[in-house]
Amino acid sequence: MATLLGALDGVEIVGEAEESGAALTGIETGAADLVVTELHLSGGTGMELLTSLAKKMPHVIAIVLTNHSGAWFRRACLMSGAHYFFDKTSEFDLARNTIQRIAGEHRTRALLPSGAHHV
Protein backbone atom coordinates (compact mmCIF):
# COMPACT_ATOMS: atom_id res chain seq x y z
CA MET A 1 0.00 0.00 0.00
CA ALA A 2 2.79 2.44 0.91
CA THR A 3 4.40 1.91 -2.49
CA LEU A 4 1.16 2.68 -4.32
CA LEU A 5 0.43 5.79 -2.29
CA GLY A 6 4.04 6.94 -2.28
CA ALA A 7 3.99 6.96 -6.09
CA LEU A 8 1.37 9.73 -6.06
CA ASP A 9 2.66 13.17 -6.99
CA GLY A 10 3.42 15.24 -3.90
CA VAL A 11 3.04 12.35 -1.45
CA GLU A 12 5.92 11.32 0.77
CA ILE A 13 5.62 8.25 3.00
CA VAL A 14 7.17 9.12 6.36
CA GLY A 15 6.42 5.87 8.17
CA GLU A 16 4.55 2.60 8.47
CA ALA A 17 3.39 0.70 11.53
CA GLU A 18 1.39 -2.42 12.36
CA GLU A 19 0.54 -1.39 15.93
CA SER A 20 -1.52 1.62 16.97
CA GLY A 21 0.91 2.89 19.65
CA ALA A 22 3.90 2.70 17.29
CA ALA A 23 1.82 4.35 14.57
CA LEU A 24 0.90 7.25 16.84
CA THR A 25 4.54 7.77 17.82
CA GLY A 26 5.63 7.62 14.18
CA ILE A 27 2.92 10.04 13.08
CA GLU A 28 4.09 12.57 15.63
CA THR A 29 7.80 12.02 14.97
CA GLY A 30 7.37 12.10 11.19
CA ALA A 31 5.13 15.17 11.33
CA ALA A 32 2.56 13.43 9.14
CA ASP A 33 -0.22 15.53 7.70
CA LEU A 34 -2.35 12.58 6.66
CA VAL A 35 -2.69 9.01 7.93
CA VAL A 36 -4.09 6.02 6.08
CA THR A 37 -5.05 3.13 8.35
CA GLU A 38 -6.70 -0.27 8.16
CA LEU A 39 -9.15 -1.33 10.87
CA HIS A 40 -7.23 -4.45 11.80
CA LEU A 41 -3.64 -3.95 12.93
CA SER A 42 -1.41 -6.69 14.29
CA GLY A 43 -1.21 -4.85 17.62
CA GLY A 44 -4.38 -2.94 18.41
CA THR A 45 -6.98 -1.59 16.03
CA GLY A 46 -7.42 1.25 13.60
CA MET A 47 -10.26 2.46 15.83
CA GLU A 48 -7.79 2.94 18.72
CA LEU A 49 -5.52 4.88 16.40
CA LEU A 50 -8.39 7.08 15.20
CA THR A 51 -9.47 7.88 18.75
CA SER A 52 -5.91 8.73 19.81
CA LEU A 53 -5.35 10.89 16.74
CA ALA A 54 -8.58 12.79 17.34
CA LYS A 55 -7.53 13.56 20.91
CA LYS A 56 -3.80 14.19 20.48
CA MET A 57 -3.38 15.38 16.89
CA PRO A 58 -6.73 16.55 15.52
CA HIS A 59 -4.99 18.44 12.69
CA VAL A 60 -3.87 15.15 11.10
CA ILE A 61 -6.24 13.99 8.37
CA ALA A 62 -7.27 10.38 9.07
CA ILE A 63 -8.31 8.06 6.25
CA VAL A 64 -9.57 4.51 6.77
CA LEU A 65 -8.97 2.19 3.82
CA THR A 66 -10.37 -1.26 4.59
CA ASN A 67 -12.21 -4.30 3.31
CA HIS A 68 -14.52 -4.07 6.35
CA SER A 69 -16.79 -1.54 4.76
CA GLY A 70 -20.20 -2.17 6.23
CA ALA A 71 -22.30 0.78 7.32
CA TRP A 72 -21.59 0.06 11.01
CA PHE A 73 -17.81 0.20 10.46
CA ARG A 74 -18.12 3.38 8.40
CA ARG A 75 -20.22 5.14 11.09
CA ALA A 76 -17.98 3.97 13.93
CA CYS A 77 -14.83 5.17 12.19
CA LEU A 78 -16.28 8.56 11.32
CA MET A 79 -17.52 8.97 14.90
CA SER A 80 -14.05 8.00 16.21
CA GLY A 81 -12.31 10.69 14.21
CA ALA A 82 -11.84 9.46 10.64
CA HIS A 83 -12.18 12.22 8.07
CA TYR A 84 -12.63 9.75 5.21
CA PHE A 85 -13.62 6.08 4.96
CA PHE A 86 -13.05 3.99 1.82
CA ASP A 87 -13.71 0.39 0.85
CA LYS A 88 -10.45 -1.04 -0.53
CA THR A 89 -12.28 -3.14 -3.09
CA SER A 90 -14.77 -0.70 -4.55
CA GLU A 91 -13.40 2.73 -3.60
CA PHE A 92 -9.62 2.43 -3.95
CA ASP A 93 -9.47 4.82 -6.90
CA LEU A 94 -11.58 7.32 -4.98
CA ALA A 95 -9.24 7.00 -1.98
CA ARG A 96 -6.18 7.49 -4.19
CA ASN A 97 -7.76 10.51 -5.89
CA THR A 98 -8.69 12.00 -2.50
CA ILE A 99 -5.13 11.61 -1.22
CA GLN A 100 -3.80 13.14 -4.44
CA ARG A 101 -6.22 16.07 -4.10
CA ILE A 102 -5.25 16.68 -0.46
CA ALA A 103 -1.54 16.55 -1.36
CA GLY A 104 -2.18 19.06 -4.14
CA GLU A 105 -4.06 21.38 -1.81
CA HIS A 106 -1.22 21.27 0.70
CA ARG A 107 1.36 21.86 -2.02
CA THR A 108 -0.63 24.81 -3.36
CA ARG A 109 -0.82 26.34 0.11
CA ALA A 110 2.93 25.74 0.44
CA LEU A 111 2.54 24.42 3.98
CA LEU A 112 5.74 22.42 3.57
CA PRO A 113 8.84 23.88 1.92
CA SER A 114 9.41 20.72 -0.13
CA GLY A 115 5.84 20.70 -1.41
CA ALA A 116 5.50 17.07 -0.28
CA HIS A 117 2.56 15.79 1.71
CA HIS A 118 3.58 13.43 4.50
CA VAL A 119 1.51 10.24 4.67
Contacts with 52 (C-beta within 8 Å, 6 or more apart), sequence order: 20, 24
pLDDT for 113: 54
- The CATH number given to whatever domain includes residue 56 is 3.40.50.2300
pLDDT for 80: 95
CA distances, 118 to each of 25, 38, 59 (Å): 14, 18, 13
Q: Is 12 left (phi over 0), alpha (psi -120 to 50) or beta?
A: beta
Residue 79 belongs to what domain range?
2-118
One-character DSSP codes across 27-85 = HHHTT-SEEEE-SB-SBSBHHHHHHHHHHH-TTSEEEEEES---HHHHHHHHHHT-SEE
pLDDT tens digits for 17-64? 999 999 999 999 999 999 999 998 888 889 999 999 999 999 999 999
pLDDT for 6: 87
- Under DSSP, the state recorded for 64 is E
Q: How many domains does the chain have?
A: 1
Q: Is 117 left (phi over 0), alpha (psi -120 to 50) or beta?
A: beta
pTM beyond cutoff 0.75: yes
At residue 61, the 3 state secondary structure works out as: strand
